[in-house]
């Protein structure tokens, strides 16, 4: 299981740690570039707790066809990468509520 400390240790950019209207109560988000992909992780716990576990993530992926288009893809799992494809994102609120359940 990876945690906020794992994200911070692998971040290739400044990491934003926050709550907003998309994060369920008792959870928070962390956004950073990790392994070359801008990723927002949902974690369970108190904002900033380095031991808070990852529940899932949303990646902003380059379409890789040279078009400059991107897609937003969600994965359920407690690791920095890998996990189960949760689908293409409709809204952060929807996917984070699913991860938190």
pLDDT band of residue 90 (cuts 50, 70, 90) is low
* pLDDT tens digits, 16-72: 999 999 899 999 999 999 999 999 999 999 999 999 999 999 998 887 777 778 888
pLDDT band of residue 100 (cuts 50, 70, 90) is confident
Per domain, the residue ranges of the chain are 4-100
* In the predicted structure, residue 89 carries a pLDDT above the cut 70: no
Which residues, at least 6 apart from 98, have a Cβ–Cβ distance to it below 8 Å? 76, 86
**What's the pTM value of the predicted model, to 2 decimals?**
0.88
């Amino acid at each position: 299981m990876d945690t906020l400390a794992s994200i911070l240790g692998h971040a290739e950019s400044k990491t934003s740690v926050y709550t907003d209207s998309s994060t369920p109560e008792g959870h928070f988000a962390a956004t950073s570039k990790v392994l070359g992909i801008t990723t927002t992780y949902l974690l369970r716990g108190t904002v900033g707790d380095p031991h808070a576990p990852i529940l899932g993530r949303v990646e902003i992926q380059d379409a890789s066809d040279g078009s400059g288009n991107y897609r937003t893809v969600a994965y359920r799992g407690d690791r920095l990468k890998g996990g189960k494809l949760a689908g293409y994102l409709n809204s952060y609120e929807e996917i984070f509520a699913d991860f938190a359940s």
